[in-house]
Structure 1
Amino acid sequence: MRISPAIGLSLLVLIVGSTGVLGSDFKRQANSFQAPSQPNFLSEFRFGLSAQDPWGAGGRDSSANLTGEILFAKPFTASDLFTSYFIPRPHVGGSLNFDDRTSFAYAGLSWTIDVTPNVFVEGSFGGAIHNGKESSHPLSDRQALSCSPLFRESGSVGVRLSANWSVMATIEHLSDGGTCSDENRGLTNVGARVGYSF
């Protein structure tokens, strides 16, 4: 059986076209089998040093802390920048004292506001558990921090060095807010931290 050139050309176009369609279907199916991208729950990691209670009572020398903090992604996003400033990032962190004075772990919420594209301010609020003593004792170097957990507030001013790196100055305060009956003069630390955004 002889096939005319017109029919042969038509069959060739049909085969090539079908191959293209099948190829695109195969690519779509292959892409559908790829592992979905994992959501990024981590937003930022921070570490630094702070001076513990530099204005401490009794003229005692201040000591140093090693600090670390993890900030998680916002639970949801807003369509406009202004509203997004009111959506906090959850955080967890800790402060480890080098001189066996008061150390603590904390968790809470952080609100970060851009002043310029490179400068930002931040406020945090949450709670902290600590190993401080519950009342004053002349032989102890740990602060009289009353009950545990305590409230923790902090404020920071930072500068973004790049898309991922930033530096910030931070002041934080731990107190019972008058909710405990024992003595509590609070604990205030000041320091500097480096942040890496994911």
Structure 2
Amino acid sequence: MRVGKAIGLSVLIASLGAAGAFAAEVKKPALTQPSLLSEFRFGFSAQDPWGAEGRDGSANLTGEILFAKPFTPSDLFTSYFIPRPHIGGSVNFDGRTSFAYAGLSWTVDLTPQLFVEGSFGGAVHNGSRNHVSTPADLQPLGCSPLFREAGSVGVRLAANWSVVATIEHLSNAGSCSENRGLTNVGARVGYSF
């Protein structure tokens, strides 16, 4: 009789333990899929301040979407080598060169608030392609598409908000007859998802 009670008590305790474990599993939040989008940035830039297109202070409205990394390694150092794909654009207010671009961005944290970023990709533009028919306030860019390189320094203001200063350069790298390039300098506000 005592053995039967002991077995019954053991079964009851095991059942309660299993029920508790099941309840704990049910209460755990479901894992969410990572978002496709990583960050959205918008701001302004000075159009080619050292060249023909920026002599009288022309400005651009800029926007960029950075997508999530295709995968994130557990090692922080290794994760710096995994880029985020991006797309963006720059619209000039004065009828000068506007462009759309796509590429890859590598972001490295220097501190929890301060980061640097490098980007590389390509751009298509609506600007002048040769010096023969180029007005004095436009830069002859040779061809389209162009290469686009950018370097940025950013500060995280809060969990989701940052401010980013960027210098970007568009050039055909000598693949066309004209290769004067276009360099813009600006600042953007970023919102991370």
TM range (shorter): 0.7 to 0.9
CA deviation vs aligned residue, 1:65-99 (integer Å, no higher than 9, x gap): 00000000000111211111010000000000001
Q: Distance in 1 between matches of 2:151 and 2:136?
A: 29
1:194 aligns with 2:189: yes
Which residue of the partner structure matches residue 92 of structure 2? 97
Which residue of the partner structure matches residue 151 of structure 1? 147
Relative to the length of structure 2, the TM-score reads: 0.82
- Percent pairwise identity: 76
Q: SS where residue 82 of structure 1 aligns?
A: helix
Q: Distance in 2 between matches of 1:58 and 1:170?
A: 18
Q: Distance in 1 between matches of 2:62 and 2:71?
A: 28
Q: Shift in Å at residue 142 of structure 1? A: 3.1
| Structure number with bigger Rg | 1
Gaps (5+ residues) in structure 2?
1-14
Q: Shift in Å at residue 26 of structure 1? A: 10
Gaps (5+ residues) in structure 1?
1-17
Alpha-carbon spacing, 1:94–1:135, altered in 2? closer, same or farther (3 Å): same
Where does 1:61-76 land on structure 2 (aligned, <5 Å)? Answer: 61-76=56-71
Q: Distance in 2 between matches of 1:195 and 1:145?
A: 29
Relative to the length of structure 1, the TM-score reads: 0.80
2:165 aligns with one of 166, 169, 174:
169
Which residue of the partner structure matches residue 114 of structure 2? 119
Q: More deviation in 131-140 or 106-115?
A: 131-140
Q: Distance in 1 between matches of 2:54 and 2:86?
A: 33
Contact 2:128/2:139 (<8 A) preserved: yes
Q: Shift in Å at residue 61 of structure 1? A: 1.5
Q: Distance in 2 between matches of 1:118 and 1:132?
A: 37
Which residue of the partner structure matches residue 40 of structure 2? 45
Q: SS where residue 77 of structure 2 aligns?
A: helix
Q: Shift in Å at residue 25 of structure 1? A: 7.5
Q: Distance in 1 between matches of 2:153 and 2:55?
A: 28
Q: Distance in 2 between matches of 1:58 and 1:45?
A: 27
Contact 1:51/1:65 (<8 A) preserved: yes
CA deviation vs aligned residue, 1:93-132 (integer Å, no higher than 9, x gap): 0000001110000000000001111100000000000001
Q: Distance in 1 between matches of 2:179 and 2:158?
A: 41
Q: How many residues align?
A: 186
1:55 aligns with 2:63: no
- Give the residue type in structure 2 aligned to 1:177: A
Which residue of the partner structure matches residue 130 of structure 1? 125
